[in-house]
Amino acid sequence: MPRSTTESLLQNNARYAEGKAVREAVHPGVQPIQPAQRLAVVACMDARLDVEDLLGLRTGDAHIIRNAGGVVTEDTLRSLVISHHLLDTNEILLIHHTRCGMLAFTDELLKAGLEGDSEAAGVLTQATGRRFKSPGCCAASPSAFHAFPGTPEPLDAPRDAANSARLAADVRRSLAAILNHPWIPTQGEDAVLVRGFIYDVDSGKLEEVAFDEG
């Protein structure tokens, strides 16, 4: 069985976590539109994640899809379908991370604060250490913020068993959204390999989360 791109990137990550440079950031010249590594990465927008560095990717290697939490939204799925069917990617990496801001609120709490609920604004101020300034009005968009399931904790809280379990649960939820989508094949000659990870922002290491349908 051919060695997957993901396995090579995990070796790069091990070197990165040891403080070693694993890529050279230079313009590569003329390249085709298809990603050279046939890879798509879904990751959080957190400033502590440099996806190219931690995986050892060069310009042109992969599609990088980032949003708050690295969650698999409808727009993420749109990008992945296009990435695979039109641009020939055949591996997807999903990366969540420790100390994620998506652990610090619920959708209902943030929406209430934005709409002007003073109690919610107070909780958000306490959680973030930044005075929450409410716009004091309602809006139809975004329809959801996709906060991670579970009890909110202070922003940037150290890793523990509880928030690690919350992260793993959301990785599995996101994996399920990809693996069960009818337009992302996981079997046959056109199959896409999909794997999920938690990135530890303190150690620089990726840890795989097994997908368990049960």
The CA radius of gyration of the chain, in Å to the nearest whole number, is 18
Where would I find the beta strands (DSSP E) of 80-159? 91-97
Has residue 28 been placed in a domain?
A: no
Residues 40 and 138 in one domain: no
Q: Say yes or no: 63 and 136 in one domain.
A: no
pLDDT exceeds 90 at position 23: no
Query: Are 12 and 112 within one domain?
Result: no
Domain count, the chain: 2
Residue 213 in this model has a pLDDT that exceeds 60? no
Q: Please give the single-letter amino acid code of residue 119.
A: E
Q: 139 and 41, same structural domain? A: no
**Predicted pLDDT at 4:** 84
Whether 164 and 188 map to the same domain: the answer is: yes
Q: What percent of the chain has pLDDT over 90?
A: 93
Instruction: Please check whether residues 132 and 197 belong to one and the same domain.
Output: no
Are residues 93 and 136 part of one domain?
no
pLDDT of residue 104: 95
Output the pLDDT for position 214. 46
75 lies in some domain: yes
Please indicate, yes or no, whether residues 91 and 66 belong to a single structural domain of this protein: yes
56 lies in the same domain as 139: no
Shared domain for 63 and 78, answered yes or no, is: yes
CA 59 to CA 51: how far, in whole Å? 11
pLDDT tens digits for 76-124? 999 999 999 999 999 999 999 999 999 999 999 999 999 999 999 999 9
Characterize the bridge pairing of strands 62-67 and 91-97: unpaired
Residue 25 lies in a domain: no
- C-alpha 85/C-alpha 90 separation (Å) is 9
31 in any annotated domain: no
**Residue 90 is part of a domain; what is its CATH number?**
3.40.1050.10
pLDDT at residue number 24: 83
Q: Are residues 120 and 157 in the same domain?
A: no
> How confident is the model at residue 3, as a pLDDT?
58
Non-local (6+) Cβ contacts of 34 within 8 A are 87, 88, 89
The confidence score (pLDDT) of residue 28 equals 87
Q: Does residue 24 form part of some domain?
A: no
For residue 133, what are the domain limits? 106-144
Q: Are residues 173 and 71 in the same domain?
A: yes
Q: Name the average pLDDT for the chain.
A: 94
Q: Give the pLDDT confidence score for residue 166 in this predicted structure.
A: 96
